[in-house]
A and B are shown apart, each in its own frame.
Chain A
Amino acid sequence: MLGIYAYALFALAAYSFTYRDNVFFKLAEHTYLAVAIGYTAAVGYGYIRFTAVEPIITGKNMLWIIPLVVGFLFVFFFSKKYFWLYRFPIAMITGSGMGLAMSGTISAQFLAQITATIGLPLVVVHPKLGFQAMDTLNNWLIIIMVIGTLAYFFFSLGPETGLGKATSKAGLIGRWTMMIAFGSAFGNTVMTRMNLFIGVYKNLLRDYTSFIGLAVLILVVATLQGRREKKPE
């Protein structure tokens, strides 16, 4: 029961911002930051403790001292004299992340998507049903629209050249394609945000007393706070 009241208090305190800024919202935003940082620090501690520290304590693998020492170099971010030491752990994280991302991007995002586009059949014929007009048209549209979208972002050719003019006309197709794509992205964003709200609303309705009681309390306090702030001195 205490959990339900705590959930309702903090969720409604956060939502109270849509009414007006108030003391409950300030409580919510400070609490949110605190528990997020505390949680991240605790899980980080747990991982370091049982991945690196435990093998050192048991004598299983002393090499784990190296990443522990490198990790501690982060504290030199706050030192003017030894700031340069902070760059080493950053360099390791950036180097490994970037190298892995680059090697995977070439095959997974670049080649796969291009292959999928140019591999589309220009004439679709079903072995039993024969020529498929709609599928053929769709494939042509996809190829033209993908090229159009890529052309839209191609700024290297000036509009005064013949190729530049052709690129900018192709870019027009890309613009219209992206308008439809962003429209569908907006439609899907509405679904996500509404579902987030519905999820919280369902949890608030687990217990009507906590929901209505806390909502009234927060509204009254926020209104009184607003009136006090408006009153001339």
Chain B
Amino acid sequence: MLEITTAIFLTLVGSAFYHLIPQGKLRLRMGWVAIVSFVIVFAYYPLAALFATGAGILSWLLALLGRRHAAVRKYGPFSLIGILLLFSYEDIRVATDSYSKTLLQFGMSFYMLRLYLALRTAAARTQVVRLEEFLAIALFFPIFPAGPICAQEAFTRSAVLNRPLVQNYLLGLLRIGIGIFALYFVTKVITRLTAPLIVLTGLDTAWQDMGWVNTYLVMVLKFLFLYANFAGYTEIAIGLGLFFGFQIPENFKYPFLASNIQNFWQRWHLSLSRFITTQIYLPLMLTLRKPRLSMFLAFAIVGMWHKMNPQFLVWGVGHGTMLVAYMTLTGSAVHTALVSRIHPWVWTVVSWLLTMTLVSFFSVFADQPSLAQSLALTRSLVPGW
């Protein structure tokens, strides 16, 4: 709780000075945002701040070169994948303990996506993107650990919006309150509910020692925990962004109301969903001309982007397969026959249950510390296996 208090305090101070800088001095404002962000990220994860700044400057130089050389413009953004790979491997000791290492890995994964977007946008723009503007969006501390992934143009556009300060601060406080509720209260309630159902061996879940009913319930609760954690964090990030007047995009739209996998991705992690569509799926589609294969490959790639391990590959392949199955079955003869015979309410409930079960399963599968643990979860879900 003290971490969020510090973050709110530092943002209030940082944003107060930001608003003292005249609106016309955009370069100065952006420079201030970059400095404040660097200091705050450095205070939490020093290595992340240093690596991020280094990668940011490198990307900015690539963007400048990309304006003159088509090859750099085309292939330059892929150099970021190398840096991402560096952070994804388990045996690279870049942090002192596993918790901060995980945070660093995830932070850098999101950071690389933002840099990738910023680099592509900057290389294509007619005006030269200045270093302070580039670093301000890349390093902006509320979105540093886990997004949302926002495009540079939208960020800069919202920075020059002439909205009343009081409105931004009030809305910011409102969103931060929702974030605190989800991140600190709801997660504690879920932990409390999970405790009597779960069997632990050390710090790991002993899935093999739990019945399939308990395994199912724990799996769903763990997914709810993930949602409360991620959505709460996003609300706080949006609220802190509003203190500066930045409109950070929404990331969730009631994902638990989704009744099919396509609808789920229209409600869950919207900024990543947009990134997958515009930066991976569409280019693959233009090259391969096969929508199903492109969708499958896009999600497999995103799985590996999350973390380079077999569990996340299964997550990506699983989501890709579900979407391909949905694309294939919707409108097919089998689908039409089923829909005509089953009551719409029953169909909706079954479809919702299936969607929630599968997304919970793949998320918890990916979240396990080892593939053996993930397989134990799978076995435990099947009665008598």
- A and B physically associate: no
Binding site for A on B (CB under 8 A): none
